[in-house]
Structure 1
Amino acid sequence: MINAIFIVWRESLEAMLVIGVLSAWIARQSDRSGLQRTLWLGVLGGVLLAGAMAMLTFGAQNLLEGNALEIFQLCMVLIAAVLILEMLVWMRKHGRHMKQNLEAGAARAAEGSGQYGLALIAALAVGREGAETVVFLYGMGMERQGGALLELAWSAVTGIGAAAMTAWLVARGARYLNYRTLFRCSEVALLLIACSLIGNGVDRILGLDWLPMLSNSIWDSSALLDDSSRFGKVLADFAGYRAQPSVLLLMVYLAFWSASWWRLRDHSNGSGR
C-alpha cells in the first residue's frame, strides 16, 4: 500500500531526525559518558510506548462488535485524518526551530534531571511518532486480517527502510537533499492521504445511515477510470478518488481542503532543520 509506506516513511524520518539531532548534541558535550546509551534507552522506551498504543487499539477492537466496532473504526479514521493535518501545521510552525528547541531541551534536561531527562525527551519524541503511525495505519485498514494485514506490515517495514535510507542520504550531504525540502514536498501527498481517509470516513457514516447521501452521484467517470480498477483503486486509496461521488462527499472534500488551506496558510515558518 503506497499510502502506508509513505506515512511510515514520513513518521520514521521525523523520529530519525530527532534521534540524529540529540545524538549530534551528545557528541559535542565534554562529558558525554553514558549519554549515548541513555539516548538509545529513551528510543527503546518510545518504541515500547508505540507498541502499547498498538496493543490498546487492537484490544479495543477485539472487545467491540457490531455498530460499536463500526463507530470505533470511524473515529480512528477521522482522528488519523485530523492528526495528519495537525502534524503538518506543527511542522510549519516549529520545524525551522526544531533543532534548536531539541538541543535546548536536552541541555535543560541534562542539567535538571540528568540522563533520565534526556531519555524522557527521546522516549516522548519517538513514542509520539510511533503512536501517530499506529493511528494512521489503523485508519488505513489495520483492522484487516490475514494476507491484507501482512501486506500492511510489509508496507510498514518498507517505509522504515526507506526512511533510514533517506536519513543516511541527508547525513551524507546528498546534493539538493535536505529535511526541509523533503518535508515540504511530502505535504501535498500527506494531504491527499488525509483526504482519502476523510472519504473512507464518509463512506462509513453513510453505511451507518447517520447522514443522507444528498444525491447518489454528481457524475460518473467510470468509463474513463473506474475506482475498482487497479489504478483507480490505487488512486482511491491514496487520494480519495471516487468515480461516482455523492454531493455529501464533495461537500466534505471542499470543507477539508478549505480548512487545510486556512490552517497551513498562517504557519509557513518552514520545516526541517
Structure 2
Amino acid sequence: MGNAIFVVWRESLEAFLIAGILFAWLQANHDDGRGKRALLLGLAGGVGLALLLGWGLLTVQDELTGQALEVFQTAMLFVAAGLITQMVLWMRRHGRTIKARLHADLTLAATRSGHLGVAVVAALAVAREGAETVIFLYGLAQGGEMQSLLIGSLIGLAAAALTAWLAAKSLARLNLPLLLRLSAILLLIISSALLVAALDRLIGDGTLPPLIDPVWNSAWLIDDTSQAGKLFADFTGYRARPALSELLIWAGYWMLVAFFWRKTAHA
C-alpha cells in the first residue's frame, strides 16, 4: 500500500500542479469562462485516456495465460521501472522550465485552435501523468493485494490534492521544490525495487542465471519473509538472500542513475 500511496501522490501532485499552471495562464489572459470550461474538459479527457490505458492492460492480461502472461507481467515491471527512472531524470532536467513550456504550448494552441487547443494541451499533459501512474500501479499490482493497492491509490490522490492546495495557499511554509526533489529519490528507490522484482521472475523461470545464489544471507538482520521485512523489501528491493546476477544488475542500474543524475544537474 505504501508504494501505491507514494507513487499516486507524486504523479497526481504533478497533474494538479500542471492544471494549476494552465488555470493561472487563463486567468492572466482574461479568459471569459470558455477557456476554463475547455480546460476542465481537457483534464477530464486526460484522465479518461489514462483509464483507457488501464483497461487495455487488464484486457491484454485477461487474454494471456501461462508463459505468455508471465512474460507480459515481467515486461511491464521493466517498463514501469524504466518509466519511473526516465520521468525522474526528465523532471530533474526540465523541471525549472516546465511552466514556461506549458505557457508556450498553451499560447500556440490557443492561437491556432482556440478553446479546442486549450483542451488538447490539458488532455495531453494530464494523460502523460495518468498513463505513467497506470503503468506504475500495474507493476506494483504484480505483488497482489489489489484491495490495499486501491486504498493506497485513493489515499495518494487525496494527499496530492491536499499538498497542491497547501502549495497554492503557501500554508505551513511548504517547500515544494525540496519535497519534489526528495520524492524523486524515493521514486528511484521504488523503481529499483520493481527492477529487482522483475529479475526475481527471470531467475525463478531460469531465463537469468543466478551465478551465485545466494551471495549472502542477511535474514538475521532483516528477514524479507517477515511482515515488516516484506514491507521494507517491497519498497526498496532488498533481498536477504540475493543472487549475484541480481546484485550486478541492481548495482549497474544505480551507476547509470548516478551518471545521468549528475549529467542532468549541469544541463
TM-score (norm 1): 0.94
Unpaired segments of 5 or more residues in structure 1? none
Q: Which of 196, 213, 229 is 1:199 aligned to?
A: 196
Structure 1 residues 143 and 46: CA distance shift in structure 2, 3 A: farther
Q: Deviation digits for residues 53-110 of structure 1, max 9, x if unmatched?
A: 0010000000000010000001100000000110011101110011111111111111
When structure 1 is superposed on structure 2, of 223-232 and 47-56 the one drifting more is 223-232
Residue 190 in 1 paired to residue 187 in 2?
yes
The residue aligned with 1:91 is 91
Report the Cα distance in structure 2 between the residues aligned to 1:250 and 1:264, rounded to whole angstroms: 21
CA drift at 1:175 = 4.7
Unpaired segments of 5 or more residues in structure 2? none
Structure 1 residues 143 and 211: CA distance shift in structure 2, 3 A: closer
Residue 151 in 1 paired to residue 145 in 2?
no
Give 2:250's aligned amino acid. Y
Q: Which of 246, 253, 259 is 2:243 aligned to?
A: 246
Report the Cα distance in structure 1 between the residues aligned to 2:42 and 2:142, rounded to whole angstroms: 27
- 1:266 is paired with a residue whose SS is helix
Report the Cα distance in structure 2 between the residues aligned to 1:30 and 1:43, rounded to whole angstroms: 20
Report the Cα distance in structure 2 between the residues aligned to 1:43 and 1:31, rounded to whole angstroms: 17
Assess if the C-alpha contact under 8 Å between 1:96 and 1:269 holds in 2: no
CA drift at 1:194 = 0.5
Residue 172 in 1 paired to residue 169 in 2?
yes
Residue 218 in 1 paired to residue 215 in 2?
yes
Assess if the C-alpha contact under 8 Å between 2:199 and 2:246 holds in 1: yes
Give 2:50's aligned amino acid. A
Paired residues for 1:1-273 under 5 Å: 1-141=1-141, 144=144, 148-268=145-265
- 1:30 is paired with a residue whose SS is coil
Report the Cα distance in structure 2 between the residues aligned to 1:211 and 1:253, rounded to whole angstroms: 14
Structure 1 residues 39 and 81: CA distance shift in structure 2, 3 A: same
**Which structure has more helix as a fraction of its residues?**
2
Assess if the C-alpha contact under 8 Å between 1:92 and 1:269 holds in 2: no
Identity %: 44
Report the Cα distance in structure 2 between the residues aligned to 1:166 and 1:129, rounded to whole angstroms: 17
TM-score (norm 2): 0.97
Assess if the C-alpha contact under 8 Å between 1:142 and 1:149 holds in 2: no
Count of aligned positions: 267
CA drift at 1:179 = 3.0
CA drift at 1:143 = 7.7
Large movers: runs of 4+ above 4 Å:
none
Assess if the C-alpha contact under 8 Å between 2:42 and 2:119 holds in 1: yes
Give 2:241's aligned amino acid. Q
- 2:148 is paired with a residue whose SS is helix
